[in-house]
Structure 1
């Protein structure tokens, strides 16, 4: 096979997985936007309450993302090794772990919901609405984490289209249910929470049914297997640490910018929202990297693993270039959408320059992160994350110590991304992560 044809096949594989993954990822913030638009018409206290409750829920579910990432890697390895039944058995173990974890989190969430809301020190009326929304939402936590695990199984099976279809369907159902329950039945913010729970539960059940049908078809076990569940939990622990380092870096960014004044905080909020949206495109390539890397290593094909890793690094780089150019090139169009304050506009434009410059390197970071997750190299990712965070803390705090600007803070935050890039590239250029076989 010629090199051009080989590269073309790789590109088609990447696109086949990345495009549906991107659509599914984009659907998540769109669901939040729909909820905000519907609840926003109930009043300011309700909208503020949704912001607090949403932050608590996103943080909780974000820490469970290992259920998707770890399962993708493990299932993809077995697919590469030709063990389809073992892949689905591995996926079923992940589903049982998700169910157990979801029940524990739901119970703990209901009990400690007042304390979680109290951290934000809201006014009494906002706290009451937030508590109502949060306690109803916790009912859907088991379905939410099951959705993550089932999505990971299907990605490992090289299927990102099914999660995409389910995500789109859930979003449409969420909008209809929210309008019906909030306004049609006059349930207020409780109706919004209930509508979202129903939509997410339906999505979780739909994907679990797909996985269970596949397991039955291949004769994979469906009953709980304690050693398998414990193995899934042990595999996911390093990814939890990795995720915690990312969340800590973002929380520190928010903490520092809060001390820089209202104008800086307003500009930062818009810039970070835009940055976060662009990461979805880069994260879609990382998801493809997880699935393809796991499959190649499971097949024992180190050469293909190296080749497709380098190809995906180019995809990450050029995707970052495109995102950066769009971020900067269109800023005069979208900045006025967010604010009429000239100071905020000026500060936001300056932040966007920094964010745009770093997008290409961020693209490589996301891809390599996905590659090493796909390789099951979670322990290294956890250690590298801690190292990057420890070095980033003084960078971020120095902005406060030396009375710096929010633009300087964004340079510091991208310093964190640079530290991640260095640790990831260092790992990629060595062979320790290239462990082949059906299991790592």
Structure 2
């Protein structure tokens, strides 16, 4: 019996219907970090700012290990939608949510050892270490909420419900910013206030997201009736999920390993270099999340085409994603070069940090161009669930980054460290292009 094929058309407006709200949503993530840094940075205490910077990086790294809950769920859900799953990927969402709660509670239980290991690896300056410790032990309570949000966002974006995903992410960071301002300036809670705002922002979004998921299926009774325990715990489905999760976790660990090495080398150069690099890295994250919005569109459309077994839709999504990626990357580079100095001044009042960040603005701005292919390919590979390709490409790119940074940083100082990141992005893009060209035909076997 021939496998069913479900044809559909992919147009630029289909890409932007997902990419635009996703970009708006994703931009709130680095903006929230920028505002947290600005809130603490304007207190004028470089040590406190450095502790916040390292704490933010630590949680980015920690939570990235569970980022498969978002990107894995999105890819699996998109394929389910393409294959006309009558339950809209409910089982994928249920498995991810259960795993999110378990991992979040496990992170809280291991808070002490995690902090000790992080402090040893990041080597915070003496002035920043107390702030890092305070921030960590408050924000760690956000772990279950943050990971539940990953699973929910994966399900919403996998269904192309990009506006709902946008609303939830804006809620996370809107509540965070508002409460951080209140707690830091209104109540004088300093670093505790910034961390607590993040915890409550994630809790609010997790609660609303669960309500929206239940409403989509008609309430909790309908959801429980639709989840057959034998299907939820199906061995084949679980093995696929855990294989995907394992490879994406390794991929995320390699990615954060690159950022962690970058931050650690900056930390060893002193609090001025650490803080300046953090300001620029947050600006880079703004660019990356614009590109991630486009990657989200590629992920959903590619996943849908694979689930529908319709190669013309895959090829069109591939071409349009890359084409619009060039346009977005060029615009981001121009904006960064022209407006980056003003943003740096808004983020910190420390003149030494400002001056150092301006000196390296040009090399950081290039990330928009060198990183674009890697971000778009991330979306394509997630949609196609080519998790082994993603994992291997990230590991290879990390090795090249470390080798180049170890050579360039002693020769060129901080410039060499930034150039190493360019090598990292370019290597990922090249690896993914070559691997996908070899694998594309196998994604769409003969329907017969």
TM-score exceeds 0.5 = yes
TM-score, L = length of structure 1: 0.84
Q: Secondary structure at the match of 1:131?
A: helix
Counterpart-to-counterpart distance in 1, 2:186 and 2:238:
43
Aligned to 1:389: 398
* Distance in structure 1 (CA, Å) of the matches to 2:434 and 2:292: 21
1:91 maps to: 93
State how far apart, in whole Å, the 2-side matches of 1:36 and 1:175 are.
Answer: 11
Counting only pairs closer than 5 Å after superposition, residues 222-301 of structure 1 correspond to structure 2 as: 225-227=232-234, 228=237, 231-256=240-265, 268-301=277-310
The alpha-carbon distance between structure 1 residues 117 and 249, as it changes in their structure 2 partners (threshold 3 A), is closer
| Equivalent-residue separation in structure 2 for 1:399 and 1:280 (angstroms) | 27
Kept after mapping to 2: 8 A contact 1:52/1:117: no
**Aligned match of 1:11:** 12
Do the aligned partners of residues 436 and 82 (structure 1) sit closer, same or farther apart at CA in structure 2, a change above 3 Å counting?
farther
Q: CA deviation at 1:346?
A: 6.9
Alpha-carbon offset, residue 82 of structure 1: 0.4
Asked if the contact 1:290/1:374 (under 8 Å) is kept, the reply is yes
| C-alpha RMSD over aligned residues | 3.3
Going from structure 1 to structure 2, the CA distance change for 1:335 and 1:42 (only over 3 Å counts) comes to closer
Q: 1:348: which partner in 2?
A: 360
Partner of 1:412: 420
Name structure 2 gaps, 5 residues minimum: 1-7
After superposition, the Cα gap between the structure-2 partners of 1:381 and 1:179, relative to the gap in structure 1 and judged at 3 Å, is: closer
Provide structure 1 residue ranges, at least 5 long, that are not aligned to the other structure.
Answer: 1-5
> Which residue in the other structure is 2:161 paired with?
159
> Which residue of structure 2 lines up, in the alignment, with residue 376 of structure 1?
385
CA contact (8 A) 1:321 1:360 kept: yes
| Aligned position for 1:145 | 147
**How far apart are 1:298 and its partner, in Å?**
0.4
Partner of 1:362: 371
Q: How far did residue 159 of structure 1 move? A: 0.7
Distance in 2 of aligned mates of 1:350 and 1:27: 24
Q: Structure 2 vs 1, CA of residues 364 and 226 (structure 1 numbering), >3 Å: closer, same or farther?
A: same
Tell whether the 8 Å contact from 1:299 to 1:436 is kept in structure 2 after alignment: no
Is residue 92–residue 222 contact of structure 1 (8 Å, CA) maintained in 2? Answer: no
The alpha carbon displacement at 1:147 in A equals 0.3
In structure 2, how many angstroms separate the alpha carbons of the residues matched to 1:433 and 1:205? 42
Q: TM-score, normalising length from structure 2?
A: 0.83
- How many angstroms does 1:426 deviate by? 1.0
> 1:97, 1:229 within 8 Å by CA — same for their partners in 2?
no
Number of equivalences: 427
Describe the shift of the 1:361–1:125 C-alpha distance in structure 2 as closer, same or farther (beyond 3 A). closer
Matches within 5 A, 1:79-158: 79-85=81-87, 87-110=89-112, 112-117=114-119, 119-121=121-123, 127-158=129-160
CA distance in 2, matches of 1:260, 1:68: 35
Task: Give the counterpart of 1:221 among 217, 227, 251.
Answer: 227
1:190 is matched with 192
1:236-266 deviation line (CA, Å, top 9, x unaligned): 1111111222222233334555677888766
1:113-156 alpha-carbon deviations (Å, 9 max, x no partner): 35534554557885455434322322221011000010000011
User: 1:144·1:201 contact (CA, 8 Å) conserved in 2?
Assistant: yes
Query: Are 2:30 and 1:29 equivalent residues in the alignment?
Result: yes
Flag the 1:141–1:419 CA change in 2: closer, same or farther, 3 A.
same
Deviation at 1:361, TM superposition (A): 4.2
Paired residue for 2:5?
Answer: none
Cα 1:245/1:181, change in 2 over 3 Å: closer
Corresponding residue for residue 3 of structure 1: none
